[in-house]
A and B are shown apart, each in its own frame.
Chain A
Amino acid sequence: MMKKIIAVAVILAIFATFAAGCGSKKVPVIGISQYGEHASLDNCREGFLQGLKEAGLEEGKDFVIDYQNAGFDDSIATQIAQTFSANNVALMVGIATPAAIACFAAAEDKDIPVVFSAITDPVMAKLDKGNITGTSDKLPVDAQLDLIRKIQPEAKTIGIIYTTSEPNSVSAIAEYEEKAPLYGFTIESIGVTQQSEVTLAVDTLISRGVDCLSNLTDNNVVGVLPSVLEKTNAAGIPVYGSEVEQVKIGCVASAGIDYIALGIQTGKMAAKILKGEATAENMPYETITEFNYYINSAALAEMGLEVPAEIAEKAIESGQ
Chain B
Amino acid sequence: MGSFFDLVVGTVTQGLIYALLSLGVYITYRILDFPDLTVDGSFPLGAAVAAVLLTRGVSPYLTLIVAMAVGALAGLVTGVIHVKLGVRDLLAGIITMTGLFSINLQIAGSNLAVDRATDTIFTAAPTMALFGAMPLIYRKLVVSLILAVVFKLILDAYFSTQSGLLLRAVGDNSTLVTTLAKDKGSVKILGLVISNTLVALSGAVVCHEQRAFNSTMGTGQVVFGLATVIIGTTLFKNLGFVKGTTAVIIGSILYKACIQVAISLGLPANLLKLITAVLFLIILVLGNRRKSGVNANA
Interface residues of A (CB under 8 A from B): 2-4, 6-7, 10-11, 14-15, 17-22, 34, 37, 66-69, 71-76, 78-80, 82-83, 85-88, 97-98, 101-102, 104-106, 108-110, 124-127, 129-130, 164-167, 170, 193
Q: Report which of A15, A83, A105, A109 forms a contact with B257, defined as CB distance below 8 A.
A: A15
B8 and A15 within 8 A (CB): yes
Residues on A with C-beta less than 8 A from B254 are 11, 14
Q: Give min CB distance, B99 to chain A, whole Å.
A: 11
B238 and A86 within 8 A (CB): no
Residues on A with C-beta less than 8 A from B273 are 71
A87 and B7 within 8 A (CB): yes
Q: Known contacts A17-B265, A108-B116; decide if A3 and B110 are in contact (CB<8 Å).
A: no
Cβ contacts A to B, 24 pairs, < 8 Å: A2-B295, A2-B298, A7-B290, A14-B279, A15-B257, A21-B263, A37-B270, A68-B269, A72-B216, A75-B14, A75-B217, A79-B260, A83-B264, A86-B10, A87-B3, A98-B214, A101-B113, A108-B116, A108-B136, A109-B136, A130-B116, A165-B110, A165-B111, A167-B110
Given contacts A76-B259, A125-B212, 17 further A-B contacts (CB under 8 A): A4-B239, A7-B290, A17-B264, A18-B260, A21-B265, A69-B270, A76-B272, A79-B10, A79-B259, A79-B260, A80-B263, A86-B7, A87-B3, A87-B7, A165-B215, A166-B111, A170-B110
A3 and B261 within 8 A (CB): no
Cβ of B86 within 8 Å of any chain A Cβ, yes or no, is: no
Interface residues of B in 245-269 (CB under 8 A from A): 254, 256-261, 263-266, 269
Interface residues of B (CB under 8 A from A): 1, 3-4, 6-11, 14, 18, 101-102, 105, 110-111, 113-116, 135-137, 206, 209-212, 214-217, 219-220, 224, 235-236, 238-239, 254, 256-261, 263-266, 269-270, 272-273, 279, 283, 286, 290, 295, 298
B269 and A67 within 8 A (CB): yes
How many angstroms from the CA of A17 to the CA of B278 in the assembled complex? Answer: 15
B239 and A105 within 8 A (CB): no
B11 and A126 within 8 A (CB): no
Residues on A with C-beta less than 8 A from B238 are 3
B259 and A18 within 8 A (CB): no
Residues on B with C-beta less than 8 A from A19 are 1, 4
Residues on A with C-beta less than 8 A from B220 are 73
Residues on A with C-beta less than 8 A from B270 are 37, 69, 71
Nearest to B253 among chain A residues (CB) is: A11
Residues on A with C-beta less than 8 A from B102 are 193
| Residue of A11, A73, A78, A170 ringed by the most chain B CB atoms within 10 A | A78
Q: Report which of B110, B215, B261 forms a contact with A17, defined as CB distance below 8 A.
A: B261
How many angstroms from the CA of A15 to the CA of B264 in the assembled complex? Answer: 10
Q: Report which of A72, A79, A88, A130 forms a contact with B11, defined as CB distance below 8 A.
A: A79
Residues on A with C-beta less than 8 A from B260 are 18, 79, 83
Q: Report which of A10, A86, A88, A165 forms a contact with B216, defined as CB distance below 8 A.
A: A165
Q: Known contacts A14-B258, A17-B261, A82-B7; decide if A105 and B272 are in contact (CB<8 Å).
A: no
Tell me the number of A-to-B contacts counted with CB atoms below 8 Å.
161
B4 and A78 within 8 A (CB): no
How many angstroms from the CA of A105 to the CA of B256 in the assembled complex? Answer: 18
Q: Known contacts A21-B7, A87-B7; decide if A105 and B211 are in contact (CB<8 Å).
A: yes
Q: Known contacts A6-B290, A14-B257, A18-B8; decide if A79 and B263 are in contact (CB<8 Å).
A: yes
How many angstroms from the CA of A135 to the CA of B15 in the assembled complex? Answer: 33
Nearest to A122 among chain B residues (CB) is: B113
How many angstroms from the CA of A102 to the CA of B207 in the assembled complex? Answer: 11
Q: Give min CB distance, B234 to chain A, whole Å.
A: 11
Q: Known contacts A21-B265, A74-B216, A75-B217; decide if A85 and B111 are in contact (CB<8 Å).
A: no
Q: Give min CB distance, B258 to chain A, whole Å.
A: 7
Residues on A with C-beta less than 8 A from B272 are 68-69, 71, 76
How many angstroms from the CA of A166 to the CA of B214 in the assembled complex? Answer: 9
How many angstroms from the CA of A129 to the CA of B260 in the assembled complex? Answer: 29
How many angstroms from the CA of A158 to the CA of B187 in the assembled complex? Answer: 53
A78 and B211 within 8 A (CB): no
How many angstroms from the CA of A22 to the CA of B265 in the assembled complex? Answer: 10
Q: Give min CB distance, A72 to chain B, whole Å.
A: 8
Residues on B with C-beta less than 8 A from A71 are 270, 272-273
Q: Known contacts A68-B269, A82-B14; decide if A18 and B261 are in contact (CB<8 Å).
A: yes
Residues on A with C-beta less than 8 A from B239 are 3-4, 7
How many angstroms from the CA of A66 to the CA of B135 in the assembled complex? Answer: 25
A79 and B210 within 8 A (CB): no
Q: Give min CB distance, A116 to chain B, whole Å.
A: 12
Q: Give min CB distance, B4 to chain A, whole Å.
A: 5
How many angstroms from the CA of A66 to the CA of B206 in the assembled complex? Answer: 25
Residues on A with C-beta less than 8 A from B14 are 75, 78-79, 82
Closest 8 A-B residue pairs measured CB to CB? A21-B264, A69-B269, A109-B136, A86-B6, A165-B215, A82-B10, A126-B113, A86-B7
B8 and A75 within 8 A (CB): no
Residues on A with C-beta less than 8 A from B9 are 86
How many angstroms from the CA of A20 to the CA of B290 in the assembled complex? Answer: 28
Q: Give min CB distance, B202 to chain A, whole Å.
A: 11
How many angstroms from the CA of A141 to the CA of B238 in the assembled complex? Answer: 63
Nearest to B272 among chain A residues (CB) is: A71
